[in-house]
């Protein structure tokens, strides 16, 4: 029996918990899990798929486009016109929603201020602002009005993407707030009755006005309704006006997706879909996880209202990454549950609603009320028609094929592969195997000392005579291989073409377009072309996350924790130092960096590396709670 291997640490002194080593599947391992590797591993080998997931959570999409490709575009044609998404010439990376009150109850909203208070590291859309110079002017628009690459990653929208100071805990509302109610007064209603009917005055800022709308939730359809459609049309026109003068990708992604929200609720579903798709295109080119998640969630809602539930469900599943803030993830589950309700998948809807409540720990009163309305609707429908089909597996929602899983024959002491129904599809003939990734798996026959690559039919794509004594699972189209099994790692594609030449002592699988590598004793990172983007000068590179997991490389936002002489800091995907290595411990939070001092006290820095929370807390949990408090008014409109 082959021995099960373990993953090498990247120098951080802590085990890498998301690594799937390129080794044989152990006979004692659960053969039904196609994503768990087993076998023997050569020290210094790649760390597997490099993908972190929580149980029963679908993976987020990843890609190879770097975040420093800021793209600008010309404004839309005129106020009131709808953007059409011409995506054929745009290269995008492969890389979240406020709900409503029960029907009959209007969600009271705060009155918009001229300068909204925003959460740390977030803009008026509830999205984290990137590091960079807020005073830099936007790049010139590309010809044809399409996004075009720009090499400066520091471009920000001065009005909406600057990094604000932490909000005061009092009454100033966030521009995208829907959970800080301001009760309506009887005097205001009396005045409204006394005044002659007429169109409402245009809002001072349409984004703030949209955030202040008191949405109603229909208890039968679980769709939002606007209390004043005429006012919502004015808000939409105001968003169009802002689009005419907004050239940066972040701003256009936000405004287009917000206009899609307004159009959807007004019933203009074609306009909503066009705006939402174009917003996703702009958002994905920024390389920012939260911004992309918001745009994709708004697109999913437009699709849901049109009845395109398969694509809507897939978008909700792909978008709900464990790296997003819990409040945003909860909203994604809530809206995914509504989509399941539309389809009569009531058990699956209840699972989403339950997950949403769990993520908020029962502390979000507005969400509690909305979910209560939703559960009442579920109960009424279930009493009449039953709970519908059984919940789907993540692969079904994503539309991904179920890959063969490794099985072990005790009598022959050999490995093979079976399909999802347990039928053998590749006979037991291997001494060692790896799980399938990206439709490919490395295998070794008993008579061979080197590995071969097969596809799901068992056909060999790379023969054993190529001489690879150590191999890593495919990730983002590449696999790390070693001829001597000890070092000099290189990356090949499925056709055995060398994409990154040999020369690395240790490697980790590609994740979000980057892979951690060690050369001459120092850790750094390379991209999919082999270019060194983070110099190999660090003593360790591995990224602890706030929920206790650790990713073996970069987060979806392109951030990694590095170690230098026992001190830790943060670099981005371009190799820029965001937090100077000066702390005993650094943990990446979805919107901040949590840091510990020599005395063991915890605090936080914002995404620019500037102080956010003083290091006075005895543990990480207190810092997370403080960050959540600062984010309480940063609930985006979905």
Burial classification of residue 614, based on how many CB atoms lie within 10 Å of its CB (0-12 exposed, 13-18 middle, 19 or more buried) = exposed
Distance CA 33, CA 367 (A): 35
pLDDT at 628: 81
Q: What is the total residue count of the chain?
A: 638
Over residues 31-83, the pLDDT tens digits come to 333 333 333 333 355 654 343 334 344 334 333 333 333 333 333 343 334 44
Bigger pLDDT: 242 vs 547? 242
**Nearest of 484, 472, 469, 400 to residue 440 by alpha carbon:** 472
- DSSP secondary-structure letter at 57? -
Q: Is 284 left (phi over 0), alpha (psi -120 to 50) or beta?
A: alpha
Among all chains, which residue has been given the structure tokens 């392109």?
558
> How far from 29 is each of 2, 154, 405, 499, CA to CA, in Å?
12, 47, 11, 33
Angle at 41 between CA 40 and CA 45, to 5 degrees: 165
Query: What are the start-end ranges of the H helices in 346-450?
Result: 346-360, 365-385, 394-398
pLDDT at 175: 36
Q: For residue 387, how many C-alpha atoms fall within 13 Å in the half-sphere facing its CB?
A: 9
> How far from 9 is each of 520, 521, 553, 570, CA to CA, in Å?
16, 13, 11, 18
- What mean pLDDT is predicted for residues 335-356? 97
Q: Which two tokens stand for residue 407?
A: 């099985």
Distance CA 516, CA 233 (A): 50
Compute and round to an integer the Cα radius of gyration of the chain: 26
Among all chains, which residue has been given the structure tokens 């980790």?
508
Over residues 122-179, the pLDDT tens digits come to 444 444 333 333 333 333 333 344 454 433 333 333 333 433 333 333 333 333 333 3
Long-range interactions of 624-629: CB distance < 8 A, separation 24+: 624/546, 624/589, 624/594, 627/120, 627/589, 627/591, 627/592, 628/326, 628/327, 629/169
Over residues 360-389, the pLDDT tens digits come to 888 889 999 999 999 999 999 999 999 999
pLDDT at 424: 95
Within 10 A of 13 (CB to CB), how many other CB atoms are there?
Answer: 11
First to last CA, the chain: 53
pLDDT at 218: 95
pLDDT at 420: 85
- DSSP secondary-structure letter at 144? G
Over residues 275-313, the pLDDT tens digits come to 999 999 999 999 889 999 999 999 999 999 999 999 999
Distance CA 303, CA 269 (A): 8
Distance CA 299, CA 276 (A): 5
């Amino acid at each position: 029996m082959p021995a099960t291997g373990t993953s090498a640490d990247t120098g951080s002194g802590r085990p890498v918990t998301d690594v799937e080593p390129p080794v044989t599947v152990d006979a004692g391992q659960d053969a039904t899990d196609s994503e768990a590797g087993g076998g023997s591993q050569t020290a210094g080998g790649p760390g597997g798929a490099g993908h972190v997931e929580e149980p029963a959570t679908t993976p987020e999409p990843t890609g190879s486009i770097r975040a420093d490709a800021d793209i600008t575009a010309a404004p839309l044609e005129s106020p009131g016109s709808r953007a059409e998404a011409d995506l054929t010439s745009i290269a995008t990376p492969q890389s979240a929603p406020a709900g409503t009150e029960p029907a009959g109850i209007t969600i009271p909203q705060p009155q918009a201020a001229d300068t909204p208070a925003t959460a740390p590291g977030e803009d008026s859309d509830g999205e984290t602002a990137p590091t960079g110079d807020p005073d830099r002017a936007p790049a010139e628009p590309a010809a044809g009005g399409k996004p075009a690459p720009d090499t400066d990653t520091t471009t920000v929208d001065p009005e909406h993407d600057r990094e604000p100071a932490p909000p005061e805990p009092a009454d100033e509302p966030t521009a995208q707030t829907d959970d800080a109610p301001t009760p309506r007064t009887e005097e205001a209603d009396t005045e409204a009755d006394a005044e002659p009917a007429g169109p409402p005055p245009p809002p001072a800022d349409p984004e703030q006005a949209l955030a202040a709308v008191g949405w109603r939730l229909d208890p039968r359809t679980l769709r939002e309704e606007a209390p004043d459609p005429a006012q919502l049309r004015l808000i939409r026109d105001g968003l169009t006006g802002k689009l005419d003068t907004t050239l940066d990708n972040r701003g256009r992604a936000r405004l287009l997706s917000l206009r899609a929200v307004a159009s959807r609720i007004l019933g203009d579903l074609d306009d909503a879909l066009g705006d939402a798709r174009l917003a996703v295109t702009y958002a994905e080119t920024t390389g920012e996880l939260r911004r992309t998640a918001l745009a994709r969630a708004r697109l999913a809602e437009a699709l849901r209202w049109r009845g395109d539930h398969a694509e809507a469900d897939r978008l909700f599943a792909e978008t709900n990454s464990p790296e997003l803030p819990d409040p945003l993830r909860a909203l994604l589950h809530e809206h995914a549950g509504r989509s399941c309700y539309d389809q009569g998948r009531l058990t699956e809807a209840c699972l989403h609603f339950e997950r949403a409540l769990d993520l908020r720990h029962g502390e979000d009163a507005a969400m509690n009320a909305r979910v209560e309305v939703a559960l009442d609707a579920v109960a009424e429908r279930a009493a009449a028609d039953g709970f519908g089909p059984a919940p789907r597996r993540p692969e079904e929602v994503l539309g991904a094929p179920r890959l063969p899983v490794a099985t072990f024959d005790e009598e022959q002491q050999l490995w093979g592969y079976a399909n999802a129904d347990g039928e053998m599809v590749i006979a037991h003939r291997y001494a060692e195997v790896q799980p399938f990734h990206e439709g490919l798996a490395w295998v070794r026959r008993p008579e061979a000392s080197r590995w071969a690559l097969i596809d799901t039919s068992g056909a060999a794509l790379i023969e054993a005579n190529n001489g690879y004594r150590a191999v890593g699972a495919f990730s983002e189209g590449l696999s790390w291989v070693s001829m001597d099994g000890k070092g000099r790692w290189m990356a090949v594609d499925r056709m055995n073409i060398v994409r990154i030449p040999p020369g690395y002592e240790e490697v980790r699988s590609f994740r979000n377009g980057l892979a951690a590598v060690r050369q001459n004793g120092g850790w750094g990172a390379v991209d999919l072309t082999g270019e060194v983007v983070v110099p190999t000068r660090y003593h360790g590179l591995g990224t602890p996350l706030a929920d206790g997991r650790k990713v073996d490389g970069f987060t979806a936002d392109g951030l990694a924790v590095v170690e230098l002489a026992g001190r830790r800091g943060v670099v981005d995907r371009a190799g820029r130092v965001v937090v100077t290595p000066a702390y005993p411990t650094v943990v990446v939070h979805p919107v901040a960096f949590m840091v510990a001092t020599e005395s063991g006290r915890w605090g936080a820095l914002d995404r620019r590396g500037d102080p956010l929370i003083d290091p006075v807390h005895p543990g990480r949990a207190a810092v997370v709670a403080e960050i959540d408090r600062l984010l309480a008014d940063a609930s985006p409109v979905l």
